[in-house]
């Protein structure tokens, strides 16, 4: 039996509140954001928010949890299709991170987590475990095991760094030195991928053209 419109509308309210909360928190930060404004964005009363979430902190955590599940599903798709050889996987991971930060919604949430992760360690934990941990593990276990890639296997989070730097840089300094994503990505690939490709042994010719 199809749910009646009123019942369906009620079931959708928590998601609408969390979407409004994302807009408010990402725009103003946790401290400055007000539940009155979240309610206004969601088209409900402030009291309605308390029906579903007991506190402002609970709203933030629920919003972050929903985001981490969404990004975890996105990562699962990437990992199912990702190459296994380490250099190819590293390149695919760089593309993946740049695609994420190019998504305005994801970029805003990442900046919010950077700002509020100390206040909400459980939110940082959930997002790490679902959105980063599985990819870092895959990078550490990638086939190839070349000596030149040992630093990357030890610190696979280095592959996140260029995209995160670009995200933070454009927020803080975009008006002073504008940096376009695609050239930035190509430069990051050259720096990182050239560094992990196997080097010829002493006395052997370099096979690169």
The residues, ordered by sequence, that sit 6+ positions from 104 with a Cβ below 8 Å of its Cβ are: none
Distance of CA 143 to the CA centre of its chain: 25
37-79 tens-digit pLDDT: 999 999 999 999 999 999 999 999 999 999 999 999 999 999 9
**Residue 106 reports pLDDT greater than 90:** yes
Look at the alpha carbons of 58, 64, 67, 68 in this order and tell me if their dihedral is positive or negative: negative
Closest CA to 21 of 2, 46, 4, 51: 46
Residue 166: Cβ-neighbour burial (10 angstroms; 0-12, 13-18, 19+): buried
pTM of the model: 0.84
pLDDT of residue 196: 81
pLDDT of residue 8: 47
Topology (CATH level 3) of domain 1-54: Arc Repressor Mutant, subunit A (1.10.10)
CA distance 186 to 99: 13
Closest CA to 133 of 103, 165, 156: 156
Q: Give kind and range of the element (H or E) at residue 67.
A: helix 56-81
């Amino acid at each position: 039996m199809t749910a009646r419109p009123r019942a369906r509308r009620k079931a959708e309210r928590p998601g609408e509140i969390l979407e409004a909360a994302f807009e408010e928190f990402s725009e103003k930060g946790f401290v400055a954001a007000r539940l009155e404004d979240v309610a206004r964005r969601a088209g409900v009363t402030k009291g309605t928010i308390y029906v579903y979430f007991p506190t402002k902190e609970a709203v933030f955590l629920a919003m972050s949890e929903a985001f981490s599940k969404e990004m975890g599903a996105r990562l699962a798709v990437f990992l199912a299709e990702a190459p296994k050889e380490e250099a190819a996987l590293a390149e695919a991971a760089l593309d993946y991170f740049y695609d994420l930060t190019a998504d305005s919604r994801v970029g805003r949430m990442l900046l919010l987590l950077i700002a509020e992760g100390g206040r909400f360690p459980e939110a940082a934990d959930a997002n790490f475990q679902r959105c980063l941990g599985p990819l870092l593990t895959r990078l550490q276990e990638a086939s190839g095991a070349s000596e030149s890639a040992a630093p990357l296997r030890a610190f696979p989070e280095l592959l996140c760094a260029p995209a995160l730097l670009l995200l933070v840089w454009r927020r803080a300094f975009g008006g002073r030195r504008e940096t376009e994503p695609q050239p930035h990505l190509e430069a990051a690939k050259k720096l990182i991928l050239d560094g992990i490709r196997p080097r010829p042994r002493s006395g052997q010719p370099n096979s690169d053209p």
